[in-house]
Amino acid sequence: MKKKTSYVDKDEQELAESLETENWISDLDAKEKNQYEKTALYSLNTQKQINITMSERDLMKIRAKAVEEGIPYQSFISMLIHKYNEGKLSITSPTKKGKRRGINAV
């Protein structure tokens, strides 16, 4: 039988064994740990591209609002969706006859 070729050196092997057998204790304080957790969560939030169809009139209005805000219209649309998902923007349903639906900031 052939001997397996090892791709780790002695130091790496010792480290791997100590990780498996010893109790390691973090030297991070709560603030540092929280910051690293936030960074990890932020990096896990990947962007996904979508395609939507809307009227040209609506798109022109959205572009105009985005210009007022000073951001690209794609970012403006993304911001609206994010605010809605976070509960900071709501769509109201009609409660009385003739009343129109609307979008309200919470």
Instruction: Write the pLDDT tens digit of every residue in 64-84.
Output: 999 999 999 999 999 999 899
Scanning the structure block, which residue is given the tokens 């070729």? 5
Rounded Cα distance between 40 and 21, Å, is 26
| Residue 90 backbone dihedrals phi, psi, to 5 degrees | -130, 155
Closest CA to 81 of 47, 57, 56: 47
Please report the pLDDT score of residue 33 as a whole number. Answer: 83
Please report the pLDDT score of residue 96 as a whole number. Answer: 61
Segments in the chain below pLDDT 50: none
Rounded Cα distance between 91 and 105, Å, is 9
Taking the CA atoms of residue 32, residue 36, residue 37 and residue 39 in that order, the dihedral angle to the nearest 10 degrees is: 140
Please report the pLDDT score of residue 52 as a whole number. Answer: 94
Please report the pLDDT score of residue 73 as a whole number. Answer: 94
